[in-house]
Structure 1
Amino acid sequence: MFAVLLAGLDATVVGTVMPTVISNLGGMALYSWVFSAYMLTTAVSMPIWGKLSDIYSKKKIFYFAILFFLIGSVLSGFSQSMIQLIIFRAVQGIGAGGLSAVPFTIIGSIFTPEKRSKGAGALSATWGIASILGPITGSIIVTHFSWRLAFLINVPIGILSVLLIKQYYSELIKKDKQKIDYFGAIIFVISILSFLLAFLQFGKGAVFYSSEVISFLLISIILFLVFIKMEGRFGNPIVSLENYRIKSFGVGNLLAFLSGFAIYGVISFVPLFVQSIQGKSPIMAGLALMPMSLAWSFSSFSSGQIIPHYGNLKMIRIGFLLMIIGFTLSMFLNYDSTFIFIILFIILIGAGMGFVTPAILVTVQNSVEKKNLGVATSSQMLARTLGGTIGVSIMGSILSNSMQRNFDILLRSGTVVSASEILKSNLDNPQILLSSKMRSQMLPDELNIVLSVFTGSLQNVFLLALIVVLLAMIMSFQLRKF
């Protein structure tokens, strides 16, 4: 649990301290890559950590994951430039991939299939707690200490995690030595990495048919086809496509993908709405997600306790139902909506995600033999990460394109007679357009129109999320009860 808390805290603390890091190290143009490098290596390393934990000692693999994470943390804390920080964050992300997958695999090996949900629910709840503590911890660090402490603080927590695992976790299962298909692993990792880079470029403003996006997608597709063709020829593959022919495994991962697609839209755009549209402070923007995190934690823990009595399917469907209600309410969002209304629909979405997360994980784990728990767990984590990355990219593009299109309609209809050039030039960049500096340069009527256009465009984003969750609810009826 401390390991999961460690990874969760780092993900949220770093976002809080990065403005201070930029002021110290410079390199504003590289800002987003501090997060992207971490996310990319986390995603592509998950299947490898999962496979290794199935073949070798889970405890030893956990130690290696902690080691990677702490080395990356210490090096990040002593970075002297943004380039160094990005490289060391990538190292840290490799460890984070193990911390995201191996603890859930350990839980799966400790508990019987009927009781796995309790452990999974507790670990899932830890992520929600970390998302609450992270911003608070980050704010205290940058206010009273050096930003470097945000990375170095991981060391004592990591050491405590190792000591607890060493003391209380014993493996009784004897591992059969297997030859790993390292060639296939490299092909698979580069394929997933290229796929993620394509959508990262798309999310950063590149059009879908741009040379960068198309090139990365072609590389990804070609290498994935090579991986399918060569699967298992040089050893035991890190990802066995045979598993996806198991209905519960395949559908469970699809549901993880769809839920990740939908939830990251809320995480990414609600704070932007609160700060940029409603003019709230950055602190209030961060606090807007706190009720969702609390609801996520509470319902994850509750779901884990309830699943043994009522089954995984009921928790999945209750969760998606709550998300459907939440996203439906979000369609009534206006730029002058009350803060209470915003909290209401994000609590419903967070609670729904909390019910869904451990139930899907248990569904995927229970669909395979115990010796494949690592592969099953990491596949579910990877599916949600891919869904989140693709979702944020597509939703960001929808937001920008909707704003541009809606504003053009207003100009052609005569509703808006004219618009300043500085306004027109930033229609594809909501963060800049709605910054306090830009707002101060707009006329009152012009600002009201921009706020209305943005809110209407954001509703299109939430509409897509609603459609995705509805699809997930329909697909959940393909699962069977465990």
Structure 2
Amino acid sequence: MGTLVTRRVVVTIAAMLGMFLAAMDQTAVGTAMPSITGALGGLALYSWVFAAYQLAFVVMTPIFGRLADLYGRKRIYLTGILWFIGASVLCGLSRSMGELVVFRLLQGIGGGAVLPIALVIIADLYPVEQRLRIQGIFSGVWGLAAIIGPLLGGFLADHASWRWIFFLNLPAGLVATAIIMITFTDPAARHAGRIDYAGIGLLAGAAAVLMLLLLWGGQAIPWWSPAAAGLAAVFAALVVLFIRVEQRTPQPFLPFSLFADRVIAVGSAGGFLLGASMFSAVVYIPLFVQGVIGTSATTAGIALMPFMLCWTFGSIAGGRLALRWGYRPVTTAGMILLAAGFARLARLEPQALVQDVFASMAVLGVGMGLTATIFMISMQNAVPRTMRGIATSINIFSRNIGSAIGVSLQGAVLVGVLAARMRTLGGAPGAGLPRITDPQMALDAAVQAHLTRAGHEAFRQALAQGLHATFVLGLGAVLLGLALVVLYMPGGSVLDLAPAEGMAAGGAGDGEAG
């Protein structure tokens, strides 16, 4: 027994190491991008270094989750992490920005396997009662990556080379690979029949087109343009075809019967709303702190730390509370806290203190821990082991799609409000107010240099109003989530909501550490 427990802990550490690498890579690259651009050029491709990874990650997440159900966790996880390591090395060897974008796309494919399958492996190793008690540790991986990533990226860019951000994935990834290969024994895969390649292709195509529409909309192409309408039409057509194919296929890639379970339906829709509200709003918190309050970039980054730390605390508390009271009371409390946090942000004045933002982010962090964690575990616990991979991936996929839509929608609202406000003030003589195309102009030193004192204050007030509008949108999404949880999340204990096979499948016997 002692050896089994030790092996299980070692496998957990290896899975978490893979999660950490995939999570930290994004944050570390962000701080090093000025150095990367200086070395490789290609400023026009700047945003695609991030977008290529995110596009591949979102598209591949549900595919790898389902394949892990069909062919086993170990095989798919090892394939994903070795792919991720190889693509990381190629990123580090890039000789141009174009090459880096292509290799980041490949890296995102590997990340789409590593992150969800690591969570599925952990779900296989521990019964739900244990997972709920220790879930805060897994959530802490995200917080740690968000804190360490920017610091490591900046340090390596300044004192070594930006290429080491990618090269460091090699030794750490190989350690995780070796541990999983040696210590983790996957039960025999229960795959029967053929793979639903048509369903996989249509879902991947629809997700890719949607992500491109959200990435290009309002930037490369106007929202109200033939190009945007064409992408939207292609997306709609692919979704309709996907639904028809899945309904007629004997062994569908995505069984729609899953969503007949209210836990799965609420967890998926709730995850989407969390992504649309919380993850997109986090993008604009540093802009408020730096552009409206007027602090440094460092302080703006630190503003996210209370959110990450309190998310971990909320996950720990939420898991233990769910064991006592069930999913619905905990997720309801989490949604109420998220609503309270957004309401605080929406009421912040331009004269607000950084401490006011910290307090709001702490409230949001606790709320996120109580909701995101419970949505994930409730979905994993609502299905038998043979469907746990796709259930986990649906949760991650819906949250990422929600985030992409939220960022685009809130960005469009922010630019619209800011531009309208600036037009109103445009007649101010000698203010030097610019034409607004991107809210990040508020941080552009060249723009700031042309503003008079009155113009700077007008710009700051307009930016505050635009950001308030994005926070109100976030509040609206959270209130929808609150109504969803209250009306549709089933009551009862955690054990009551598990399928007969689900509880038996939640222990270490399903994913042997030995």
**TM-score, normalised relative to structure 1:** 0.94
Q: Which residue of 1 aligns with 2:241?
A: 226
Deviations 1:14-50 (A, max 9, x none): 1111111001001111100010000010000011110
Amino acid corresponding to residue 21 of structure 1 in structure 2: I
* 360-369 or 320-329: bigger deviation: 360-369
Moved more, 324-333 or 281-290: 281-290
Cα–Cα, structure 1 residues 268 and 312, in superposed 2: closer, same or farther, change >3 Å? same
Report how many residues are paired: 476
Q: Does residue 268 of structure 1 match 2:283? A: yes
- In structure 2, the residue matched to 1:102 is 117
Unaligned segments of structure 1, at least 5 residues? none
Give the deviation of 1:109 after TM superposition: 1.8
Which residues in structure 2 correspond to 1:28-47 (within 5 Å)?
28-47=43-62
How far is 1:281 from its partner? 2.3
- Pairwise CA distance, 1:275: 2.3
Contact 2:281 2:470 in 1 (8 A): no
Aligned to 1:462: 471
The yes-or-no answer on 1:417 pairing with 2:432 is: no
1:439 paired residue among 445, 448, 461: 448
On the 8 A contact 2:293/2:353 being kept in 1, the answer is: no
SS at match of 1:177: coil
Residue 169 (structure 1) shift: 2.7
* 1:68 equivalent in structure 2: 83
Q: How much has 1:195 moved relative to structure 2?
A: 1.0
- Cα distance in 1, alignment partners of residues 464 and 220 from structure 2: 20
Contact 1:203 1:392 in 2 (8 A): no
Structure 2 CA distance for aligned equivalents of residues 148 and 222 of structure 1: 41
Aligned to 2:306: 291
The answer to whether the Cα contact below 8 Å between 1:121 and 1:305 also exists between their aligned partners in 2 is no
Asked if residue 50 in structure 1 is aligned to residue 49 in structure 2, the reply is: no
SS at match of 2:223: coil
Kept in 2, the 8 Å contact 1:199–1:213? The answer is: no
What CA RMSD, in Å, does the superposition of the two structures yield over aligned residues?
Answer: 1.8
The answer as to whether partners of 1:65 and 1:98 remain within 8 angstroms in 2 is: yes
Q: Select between 283-292 and 234-243 the one with higher mean Cα deviation.
A: 234-243
1:350-429 to 2 correspondences below 5 Å:
350-411=365-426, 416-418=427-429, 423-425=433-435, 427-429=436-438
Which residue matches 2:161?
146
State the distance in 2 between where 1:380 and 1:88 align.
26
Letter in 1 for 2:73: K
Query: Where do residues 246-325 of structure 1 align in structure 2 (5 Å cutoff)?
Result: 246-325=261-340
> Aligned letter for 1:33?
W
* 1:471, distance to aligned residue in structure 2 (A): 0.9
1:479: which partner in 2?
Answer: 489
The match for 1:87 is 102
SS at match of 2:47: helix
Q: Deviations over 1:375-420 (max 9, x none)?
A: 1000000000000000000000000000112233345xxxx53466
- 1:207 partner SS: coil
SS class of match (1:259): helix
Q: What is the CA distance between 1:241 and its match in structure 2?
A: 2.0
Greater Cα shift, 237-246 or 5-14 = 237-246
Conserved 8 A contact 2:430-2:452: no
In the other structure, the counterpart of 1:129 is: 144
Secondary structure of the 2:208 match is: helix
CA gap of 1:300–1:53, structure 2 versus 1, over 3 A, is same
Q: CA deviation at 1:456?
A: 1.0
Give 5+ residue unaligned stretches, structure 2. Answer: 1-15, 495-514
Q: CA deviation at 1:292?
A: 1.2
Q: Is the 8 A contact 1:184 1:237 kept in 2?
A: yes
Kindly indicate whether the alpha-carbon contact (under 8 Å) linking 2:246 and 2:253 is maintained by their aligned counterparts in 1: no
**Contact residue 70 and residue 189 of structure 2 kept, 8 A:** no
Instruction: Quote the offset at 1:80 in angstroms.
Output: 0.4
Aligned to 2:510: none
Decide whether aligned partners of structure 1 residues 246 and 41 sit closer, same or farther in structure 2, where only a CA change above 3 A counts: same
What do residues 242-284 of structure 1 show as CA deviations (whole Å, max 9, x unaligned)?
2123222112100000001111233211112222333322222
Q: 2:250 & 2:109 partners in 1: Cα distance?
A: 23
- Alignment deviations for residues 37-84 of structure 1 (CA, whole Å, 9 cap, x no partner): 000100000111101110112111110010111111000000000110
- How far is the alpha carbon of 1:308 from its aligned partner? 2.1
Deviation at 1:104, TM superposition (A): 1.2
* Residue type of the alignment partner of 2:291: S
List per-residue Cα deviations over 1:175-211 (Å, max 9, x = no partner): 2334111122111100111011111112536432222
CA distance in 2, matches of 1:256, 1:319: 13
Residues 327-359 of structure 1: CA deviation (Å, up to 9, x unaligned)? 111112222211111111011112211121110
Which deviates the most, 92-101 or 301-310?
Answer: 301-310
- Report if aligned partners of 2:291, 2:463 keep a CA contact under 8 Å in 1: no
2:222 aligned partner: 207
- Give the counterpart of 2:460 among 432, 443, 451: 451
% identical aligned pairs: 31
